[in-house]
Structure 1
Amino acid sequence: MAVGVSAEQIVRSQDRDAAQIARRVPGVSIQDNRFVLVRGLTQRYNAVMLNDVMTPSSEVDTRAFAFDMIPSNVIDRMLIFKSGSAELPGDFAGGVIKLYTKRAPEENFTNFSLQGGYRQGTTFQQVQQAEGGKYDFLGFDSGKRTIPNNWPTRLSDDYSTGLRAAYARQLPNRWGVNSLKAAPDLRLSFNMGRRFEPGQKQVGTLTSLNYGNYHQSTNARLSFYENGADRNQPASFYNDRLFSNEVRLGVVQNFWLRLNGRNTLEFKNLFNQLGTSETVLREGQDITQTSNDVRAYSQRFESRSIYSGQLAGNHEPGR
């Protein structure tokens, strides 16, 4: 069984991205405003195809595709298959989601949208964030986190204490955290389509830029207990304050060339950049170690780039 959403329906709905379009299909729900769930199964059980080609996972630790990275302006149609058939891949349990981007615009257009979001418990609250690089706001690492080239692949016991200290001094002293107020969430979208007719040929371009900057602050209380006779005896307890900043940058660039009535060429490009920084401040007490007070920091940064390119043609032999 397949359910489709046509270009006419997408225009009438005024949905801003592929995630909102999919939400209108019966039996489909959205998680975190970006992941599609079919028949109640999580995103890892779905297969996603862009222009009939399997898409790479947009997440680091799970099989998933972020549908909010594709704006509705560049989508021609969406098909969601809830049951298997011969022409579909067999590695899915929830559904197969097919997205088709537009070839060329019918007329020239340009639109721009800017949206902000308030997150209760996070926006304008005081948070702790590790010092990052100058390109973190785009999801790219500036290179300051890179280990020096002269470092050995592994520090074994053969290295003296002085040599290990010398290697450690080569690392930049950027382990402190800064106190700041969390900014509101930001979402930006720019779309442009152009159509030209040089001579007897027809040329079309479709450009889409999608940017999102999201902040999340949470507090967690952790308690650990003894494994001995008195299992109700606490061993340690901690209060964790976690702040994460997620950046998503997506670019769609399609080119279309109609040579004549029987020959057409298409070059479709999709690029996604994902960057996540996370800072955790842990405070608490380790009772098993003579009631030592604990203050610890954890810093993490992940950056991932995904590119998908397709060169296709439609050629009809002459009679």
Structure 2
Amino acid sequence: MPILYCDPWRAQYFQDVQCPDDATIPIKDWQAWSLFPNHSWIYDKLAVARSQGMDAAPHGVIPPYYPVFSKPIINLRNMGAGSLAIPDEATYRVSLQPGHFWSTLLTGRHVSTDAAILNGEIAWCRHATGITLDGGTFEHWHIHKEVMPELEGYLGTWASKHLAGYTGMTNFETIGGKIIEVHLRFTDQWPDLYGAGWVDAMVRLYSEKRWEFDDSQRQDQYSVVLWGSHGRSYRYPSAACTARVKAEPGVVSVQQTFHENLTPSLHSNPPGGFRLAIVNTNDLEAGRRALKILNEGILASSEQGDGSTRSSMVQLSSL
């Protein structure tokens, strides 16, 4: 299938979609980088910062003021890895890394925006904000019903200048209305929350170079995450447990986001936790109730498998 999903827990969103063989749709950044060479420069985060007139330079150039923010110039596997705020020159000098850069430390609302781009113009977009926990983890993502006209105007102006000739999905990460990252793909964690027919519309964007989607029924929705601790293995919950979760009112889909037979350290996760499951839902409290059920189910299966104790699970504040 030309939709290049890699994670088996995402297959549920794409496996029944009709996609022409000549329309290749990336899910991961490394796929998009190869598929769109004329626009792959956007993965250079230093270039993106400078395209907006932000102060930014490679490590080795001394910042004119502090604090600044530091991160790798390009990182296709885990875009946020290696990032940190630098408060002063002493910290900067001990933090110097080849391939990293510093830029203006932005403040304000952190928004993730999926956008359908038609020859450089935004034809559709939807915004999400994350509720953070410690160590780079998120308790949940809020996929907003609301439009954000000021942000959409800024992104539209930037896209028409820098993505001319590009047609496809794009994800923008912004803080305080400024772009910090651009991805030539959409967020594959919650395509089911964009509404019936959205994936088909996305396929038409790539295959027929047009955008047609009825977005009149949008509502506030949520993608809620269950985290475990690092340093141990996990097993999937029983089929009965998963069925119970899916039957919870308001639950749209369930993803079990790890491989039972893969060494835990080979999974890509933030320092704050090991991602075990995601529940997409129309109701935040329903999602949290579903996570409690999954929490107990994964604990029971994992303890049967290796005798680990319950204390190895991260107990989220919402559970």
Output the TM-score relative to the length of structure 2.
Answer: 0.25
Structure number having the greater strand percentage: 1
Structure number having the greater helix percentage: 2
Output the TM-score relative to the length of structure 1.
Answer: 0.25
Larger radius of gyration: 1
